Structure 1
Amino acid sequence: MRHAARVERMLDKLCTGIEALMAFGLGMMVLLVFGNVVLRYGFNSGITLTEEVSRWLFIWGTFLGAVVALREHGHLGVDMVVSKLPPAGKKICLVASHFLMLFIVGLLFKGGLDQTRLNWNVTAPTSGMSMAVIHIPAIVFSVLAAIILLFDLWKICTGQLSDDELVMVHESEEALQLKQVLADAHHPTRSAS
């Protein structure tokens, strides 16, 4: 149990660091794009490098955001059938979905690695940097996602999840919030804590 708590803290710190990195990247994108718009319309010039760099930051931000969403179980899914199953059925579906996601993450890792190798010596038109920089985020995502999925799978198989946690994705955030409000209305002591 102590190791699980340590891994939980490490993953939480990793996601906090990723969120800070994403905020920095988003700030850089805003500065680069806004600065380029001002230069283009105000001074009839521009910095062509800003378009390339902001595109790369967007790609990196998308993949890193997907890691944080995976950790927080924030991806949307269909829980209509799974939520009606008994705990054993929920557990079977959750284990099967984790194995499927691990398979897909493995495919993404292989594809990202292949594309990185192919594009290592291809240079970007403006900066001259390697075009591998746009394929490396797939590798980073797949490694981090595999770690998160394996840890979740370990928690599932060792029985560390409650029955409510066996449904990790929800159809919509609004439905989840409504469910929480209704649960708090039925248990007023729960909402006070």
Structure 2
Amino acid sequence: MGTKYTPKGPVGRAVHGFEENAIAVLLGAMAMLTFVNVVLRYGFNSSIIWSLEVVLVLFAWLVLFGVAYGFKVTAHLGVDALTNLLEPRMRKAAALMAGAFTIFYAVMLLKGAWDQWAPFADLPPTTGKWFPTGLDFDARGRSFFETDQIPMPEWLRFLEDWINYGERYSKLPRMIPYLILPIASVLILFRVCQAVWRVWTGESDSMIVSHEAEEAVEEAAAKLRKEG
């Protein structure tokens, strides 16, 4: 069964703090925007037009942050009925094999995330089908694409000169909400490598949560018997 994650080293602690703070901020912002919009709608027959789109963006960010966070705390579900029949050495080998495939997937995910986001930031996507073999400087930029309703903050106006050739944005450019794609992909790859390393060094014997539901049911049943 996976062990509880404890951050180690300055990099690990920094990433750990960044993830948990980001998740807390996202949850708080979503709750606040939703609450304010409900009050405005039912109390004042009004609403914040762009709040729904912002909440959707924040939810997407939360989900992608959550994937990386799940790898960190070994909270992802998996089927271990077969691997539990193996002896410890073979179980470790199976976990490392699964980890190698997961790292391969995470690398492809990072490439795809960069290729999706880069044109919106006026940056070149990569070439190559599976792994990056170079940069495609001939790819058409999409930095002029905007969100539907999210207003452009004044403090982000510098992006107009950086990526939009001086053209003014009327709404928030899509490169901002899409920025979570490469960020989350890097975090996922980092956390997967950490999880595989923990298996390699013997700190954990799995990258997934194991029998957590069964243990929770047993604990609840024992509590009820004790109270009864």
TM-score for the superposition, normalised by structure 1 = 0.77
Separation (CA, whole Å) in 2 of partners of 1:6 and 1:71: 9
Q: CA deviation at 1:118?
A: 4.0
Say which one has the larger Rg. Answer: 2
Say yes or no: does 1:161 pair with 2:202.
Answer: yes
Does the 8 A contact of 1:79 with 1:170 survive in 2?
A: no
Larger strand share, 1 or 2: 2
Q: In angstroms, what is the RMSD of aligned CA positions?
A: 2.5
Q: In structure 1, give the amino acid aligned to 2:206.
A: V
Q: CA deviation at 1:47?
A: 1.1
Q: In structure 2, give the amino acid aligned to 1:123.
A: E
Among the aligned pairs, what percent are the same residue? 26
Q: In structure 2, give the amino acid aligned to 1:57.
A: L
Q: Which residue of 1 aligns with 2:25?
A: 24
Q: In structure 1, give the amino acid aligned to 2:196.
A: L
Q: Which residue of 1 aligns with 2:181?
A: 138
TM-score for the superposition, normalised by structure 2 = 0.66
Separation (CA, whole Å) in 2 of partners of 1:118 and 1:169: 35
Unaligned runs of 5+ in 2: 1-5, 122-142, 151-170, 220-228
Mapping of 1:101-180 within 5 angstroms? 101-120=102-121, 121=143, 122-127=145-150, 128-157=171-200, 160-161=201-202, 165-170=204-209, 172-177=211-216
Q: Which residue of 2 aligns with 1:191?
A: none
Does the 8 A contact of 1:124 with 1:130 survive in 2?
A: yes
Q: Which residue of 2 aligns with 1:187?
A: none
Cα displacement string for residues 122-171 of structure 1 (whole angstroms, at most 9, x for unaligned residues): 100112112233332231122112122223333444xx215xx2133245
If asked which structure has higher relative contact order (CA below 8 Å, sep 6+), I would say: 2
Cα displacement string for residues 58-91 of structure 1 (whole angstroms, at most 9, x for unaligned residues): 1111111221111011101011111111122112
Alignment coverage as a number of residue pairs: 172
2:78 is paired with a residue whose SS is: coil
Q: Which residue of 2 aligns with 1:77?
A: 78
Separation (CA, whole Å) in 2 of partners of 1:130 and 1:109: 21
Separation (CA, whole Å) in 2 of partners of 1:6 and 1:75: 18
Separation (CA, whole Å) in 2 of partners of 1:6 and 1:115: 31
Separation (CA, whole Å) in 1 of partners of 2:120 and 2:68: 24
